[in-house]
Structure 1
Amino acid sequence: MPVHPDPASFLLYGDDGTPLAALRLKDDDGERVAARVRPLPGIPASRVAAQARRDFAGMRLETPDDALLAAFVATGLEPRRAATEMIHDLSGLPAPRDLPDGWSLAEPGWDEDLAGAMAAAYGPDHPDGRFTEADRAYIGGMFATGEPVPPLVPASARLADPAGRSAGHILCAGPVPWTDYPCAWVLNLSVGPHAQGRGFGRDLLLHALHGTREAGLPALALSVVDGNPARRLYESAGFRTENRVLSVTLPAA
């Protein structure tokens, strides 16, 4: 078997026994993933890509290494996603501001007003793609059954407009099983079009940061896809880059 356990991670070996790359193996909603694949010093990315295509056929592969992703692209594969994992250590948090008259942050939950606001906010040109029925079912399931992960209530909230209707939300979970460090995770931050331009995205994010601290977790993390202007919000709020996540689906053997 070309993948052998190591105390900290796994190693990918060539057919001749040469160690080629460090990585972690994980399951993501039933999908097998070779994560954080990093060529070892002196190993060409093209050799790692060729071995990975054989040994991880049919799996999703994630890497922080741009050269390795380029090696896969050179073999004809299309990148699946390019994103940056960011983290906040909860230090130096400002106090929440008073929202404009009539607006409030309410208990987290799921309703048709919120689904409509998210559908309007995530149109076909959004870097994360259009809001879909699968997204609706995923978020609804979190509140209905706690699957696949339950909401972290102290760090989550709905934005309610002066009529009491949901106009956006922040949805967090934690601790989450897909990181190597304990943290809360922002699953979704969205503000409907009629509420945009008022600073509510920052208000929701600050609520999540304070709520993460209240829940006893040491950090709040998230993933932002390349080209998403929300990254400027995260950087201005004190999030720092933790890891690059470049992913590709390897064809089945």
Structure 2
Amino acid sequence: MTETQTDRQYGYGADGVAVVRYERGEREGRPWADRLEVVDPRADLAAQAAYVRTELAGWVVSGPVELGQELVRQGSTVLRHGHTMRRELTDAPPAEGWEAWARTPLRDGLRAVPCDRDAKELAPASLTAFGPGHPDHRPDDDEQTGTQRLAELLAGQIIGPVLPSSTLVVDGTDRVVAGAVLTDWDGLPWIAHVFRDPARGYPGLGRDVLRRAVAAVAASGAAAVGLAVTEGNRARRLYEEMGFTVTGTSLTVIVP
């Protein structure tokens, strides 16, 4: 997962010419070259990948898909193939208006509550939502690891501080069954985590809670909201139906 990032950094070749630039952060407990771009037009794809393998060995690297695929061919491991998406709020309200989204009804017996609960209360529904077969499933995760990652997210250690527009949904027993966690990513409201416990049913609940959360962001005066979605995740269709558009695509790999 991400942490607060620093200014862009450059990587130089033996001739002193910049080859790549990136934002340095931390992910999966490793140094992370995020938004990596190749700046030396003389290097072909294989040479670019060879440079990254040599200079950023042991790092997580997020950059162009073509470069990531070449790094995989040279022994790197895919961590995520994802797309960033953005929805304009001020300039493009939904046809029915933000108030209608804010009043999106929940299923009988469910109610929306603030996102102010301990990670242990979110973990059962969240971990089930991303079980085997989901594009974002982590086969090496256990309950402890997943709960710790949620705790870091809620503490603002992953992407940024959690926003008041974040919403949880609980059932009649006060058990968390769904939620949308939004954070501040360098001034842009960011949908960091959306989940629904599929074992408990409630199809469409993810859409409902997300509409409520986005409406809350719009009511706060924010001009836009963003998110990231993994390639192959069917939720992308939902995001597009809600007015999100793709702003970028990258492949994230672990360099051996």
Q: Same fold (TM over 0.5)?
A: yes
Query: How far off is 1:121 after superposition?
Result: 1.9
Aligned to 2:73: 74
Closer/same/farther in 2, CA of residues 220 and 16 from structure 1, 3 Å limit: same
**Counterpart of 2:93 in 1: which secondary structure?**
coil
Aligned to 2:179: 169
Matches within 5 A, 1:1-253: 9-28=8-27, 31-40=30-39, 41=41, 43-63=43-63, 65-90=64-89, 91-93=92-94, 94=97, 95-96=100-101, 97-110=104-117, 114-130=122-138, 132=142, 133-141=144-152, 143=154, 147=157, 149-153=160-164, 155-174=165-184, 176-177=185-186, 182-193=187-198, 194-197=200-203, 199-251=204-256
Give the structure-2-normalised TM-score. 0.79
Please give the alpha-carbon distance, in whole angstroms, between the structure 1 residues aligned to 2:72 and 2:156: 38
Does the 8 Å CA contact 2:170/2:177 hold for their aligned counterparts?
Answer: yes
Closer/same/farther in 2, CA of residues 113 and 9 from structure 1, 3 Å limit: closer
* Deviation per residue, 1:9-62 (Å, 9 max, x gap): 444332223443343333448632222222344531111111122222221111
Query: How far off is 1:211 after superposition?
Result: 2.1
Please give the alpha-carbon distance, in whole angstroms, between the structure 2 residues aligned to 1:30 and 1:163: 37
**Counterpart of 1:88 in 2: which secondary structure?**
strand
Does the 8 Å CA contact 2:75/2:255 hold for their aligned counterparts?
Answer: no
Please give the alpha-carbon distance, in whole angstroms, between the structure 2 residues aligned to 1:85 and 1:172: 15
Please give the alpha-carbon distance, in whole angstroms, between the structure 2 residues aligned to 1:119 and 1:25: 29
Please give the alpha-carbon distance, in whole angstroms, between the structure 1 residues aligned to 2:78 and 2:152: 29
Closer/same/farther in 2, CA of residues 37 and 242 from structure 1, 3 Å limit: same
Please give the alpha-carbon distance, in whole angstroms, between the structure 2 residues aligned to 1:121 and 1:27: 25
Query: How far off is 1:118 after superposition?
Result: 2.1
Amino acid at match of 1:62: S
Closer/same/farther in 2, CA of residues 158 and 54 from structure 1, 3 Å limit: same
Amino acid at match of 1:138: R
Amino acid at match of 1:60: V
Please give the alpha-carbon distance, in whole angstroms, between the structure 1 residues aligned to 2:66 and 2:130: 31
Closer/same/farther in 2, CA of residues 47 and 203 from structure 1, 3 Å limit: same
Give the structure-1-normalised TM-score. 0.80
Closer/same/farther in 2, CA of residues 165 and 235 from structure 1, 3 Å limit: same
Please give the alpha-carbon distance, in whole angstroms, between the structure 1 residues aligned to 2:167 and 2:225: 15
Closer/same/farther in 2, CA of residues 241 and 150 from structure 1, 3 Å limit: same
Aligned-pair RMSD on alpha carbons? 2.6
Closer/same/farther in 2, CA of residues 32 and 123 from structure 1, 3 Å limit: same
Does the 8 Å CA contact 1:13/1:20 hold for their aligned counterparts?
Answer: yes
**Counterpart of 1:217 in 2: which secondary structure?**
coil
Amino acid at match of 2:47: R
Please give the alpha-carbon distance, in whole angstroms, between the structure 1 residues aligned to 2:15 and 2:83: 34
Please give the alpha-carbon distance, in whole angstroms, between the structure 2 residues aligned to 1:42 and 1:234: 38
Identity of aligned pairs, percent?
A: 28
Closer/same/farther in 2, CA of residues 121 and 74 from structure 1, 3 Å limit: closer
Note the residue ranges of structure 1 that are not aligned, 5 or more in a row: 1-7
Closer/same/farther in 2, CA of residues 142 and 44 from structure 1, 3 Å limit: closer
How many pairs align?
235
Closer/same/farther in 2, CA of residues 207 and 33 from structure 1, 3 Å limit: same
